Amino acid sequence: MAWVALLLTLAAPVARGVENSVEQWGMFELALRGPTNGNPFMDVRFSTRFFQDDTSIEAAGFYDGDGVYRVRFLPEKQGRWRYATMSNAAELDAKSGEFTARNPSAKNRGPVRVANTFHFAYADRTPYKPVGTTCYAWNHQGEELEQQTLKTLAASPFNKLRFCVFPKHYDWNTNEPPLYPFEGRAPRTWDFERFNPKFFQHLERRILNLQKLGIEADTILFHPYDQGHWGFDRMTAVADDRYLRYVVSRFAAFRNVWWSLANEYDFMTEKSEQDWERFGQIVSASDPYHHLLSLHNGKRLFNHTRPWITHASIQNGSAVEDAGRAVLLRDAYRKPVVYDEVKCEGDIPKRWGNLSAEELVYRFWQGTIAGTYVGHGETYLHASAVLWWSKGGVLRGQSPLRLAFLRQVLEDSPAAGIEPIDEWQNPEYGGQPAEYYLVYLGKQTPTSWEFKLPNPPQGKSMTDGMQFKAEVLDTWNMIITPVESVFTLGKKTEYFWADKDGRSIALPGKPYMAIRIKRVTE
C-alpha cells in the first residue's frame, strides 16, 4: 500500500528493501520478524529512533502477531531521515536504514493542531473548522454495515468522527462484535496480557478509510458502556496502562488521529480522578507527534486547564442554547472548546435523544457565534435498531444538510476563526472585528435589522466612512440573499457604530436568520 514502507526480513543485520520515500505527514513503517516464544507482548521491548539533522524522535514498536514486529513513524519534516532500532531481542536490535520524506500530496495537510488559541489548523497552516458527528460503535458492526457508514460519511458534511476503540454494550447496541481487543473468550474470559492483533488491524483500516475521506478520527480510548459485560471498563491499572501504550504505538503515526481519553469519563465509577490524570500523562508522553488530546464529561467537568489537554471536549446541551453561555468555558479554559455532545436529533424516549433538527442546527449556530465548535448526533428509531449515534449506517435526519450549509459558511470565514465580538452584552455577534461579522438572530422573527456594529475591542479600530456589504442567510432553508446597499459607518453611541444614514436590512419575519457582513476594501 502506498502509505506504508514495509520490510519483512529474517534477522538481517541491516534493514533492506524498505520503500525509500514516503510523503511528509504520511506513514513510514518498518516490519521485522522476531521472537514468537513466551509472550511477545510482554517479553519483548522494541523501539526505533529516527534522526534528521539535530532532530531525534523515538517511536515505540509493537507486536502485530505471527512473529511480526512493527514500528511506525510520521515524518513531520521533508528530507532525508535515518533510523536505528533498539530491542532486547537480537533479531530486532541494531537494524538501520534511511528514507526520504517528500512533498505531501494535495489532500495531505498533516495533523490538526491548535491555532490562534481557540481554533484549529492543519500542520500546513490550512484552517481546520470541525463539523463533527458521533458513531460510537460503527467499527464493531461487520463489513456490510461499516461500508454503508463510510458511504454515508463520504456524502455528509462531517469532517470529524467520534468512535470507541472498545465495543459497546448499551441501549440499541447489545450485539456482540466480530472481534475483541484481547485474546480469550466472550464475555469475560480475557488474557489482558495478550492483545488480539486482528482487532487492531481492523480498526487501523477504518482509521485509514476516514483519512481518505478527509475525516479526523476522534478515537475514544475508554467508555462506561461496557457496564461490566466484558470488563474492559474495569481492568487493573497495569492493564489499563499497557493498553494505552499499545494503542498509541499502533495509531499515533496516522495523521488524522485525535485522542479522547474517554466518553463520559465520570460515569466510569471504577476509575478515579488520579487514574485520568495518569492516563493523560501516559498518552501525552507516549505520542511523539502530540496529537490533539481531550477528556469528555458526563455531568462533571474535568480540569481542562491541565497541560496535557489540548482542547475541551464538552457535553452540555444547554450551554449552546445561547452564545453568551457557550463562550464562558472558552474564557475559563483559554483553549478551543468543542461541544461534542449537545443532545441528538431523533425520536428515542430519552431526553438526550429527541431534539428536533431545527433545535440541533440552532445550537450549532449559537456555538459557532461564540467562537466554539459543536458536534452532531442522530438517534432516530428504526426497525433495524441501527441508530446512527451508535452503529452508523444511514442518516435519516434533516440537520446534516443544514450543517453542510454552515460548514460552507465556516470555510468562507476568516482563517483566524470566528471570535465573539461583544460577548458580555450582544453575544449574537461573531467574527473578526472591523472586518467580518456573523450576526445570528436565532429564534427571533424580526422584519428588519438596524445596521449597527459593536465598538471593537482594544487593539482594533473603526472609523467614520468605513464601508460594508451584507447578505441575509436563511440558515434553515439554506438561502443567501445579497443586500444591494453598501453601508457606510458613522459613530452612533459609545458602544456602537451604525450606518450613517440610519438604514436597516429587511428581513422575512422568520426564525433562524443570520446576517453576514464583510468590509468593502476596494
Q: Give the list of residues 6+ apart from residue 141 with CB closer than 8 angstroms, or none.
A: 149, 175, 177, 391, 392
Q: Which of 348, 148, 146, 315 is nearest to 220 (CA)?
A: 315
Assess contact for 163 and 217: CB atoms under 8 A.
yes
Residue 1, pLDDT score: 34
Q: What is the pLDDT of residues 291-344, one digit of tens each?
A: 999 999 999 999 999 999 999 999 999 999 999 999 999 999 999 999 999 999
Assess contact for 268 and 275: CB atoms under 8 A.
no
Residue 18, pLDDT score: 57
Q: Which of 170, 141, 15, 142 is nearest to 87 (CA)?
A: 15
Low-confidence ranges of the chain (pLDDT < 70): 1-19
Q: Which of 75, 83, 80 is nearest to 30 (CA)?
A: 83
How far apart, in whole angstroms, are the C-alpha atoms of residue 345 and residue 389? Answer: 10
Assess contact for 254 and 208: CB atoms under 8 A.
yes
Assess contact for 295 and 196: CB atoms under 8 A.
no
How far apart, in whole angstroms, are the C-alpha atoms of residue 251 and residue 81? Answer: 21
Assess contact for 122 and 397: CB atoms under 8 A.
no
Residue 82, pLDDT score: 98
Residue 13, pLDDT score: 35
Assess contact for 52 and 77: CB atoms under 8 A.
yes
Query: Domains in the chain, start-ordered, CATH in brackets?
Result: 21-102 (2.60.40.10), 112-411 (3.20.20.80), 421-519 (2.60.40.3950)
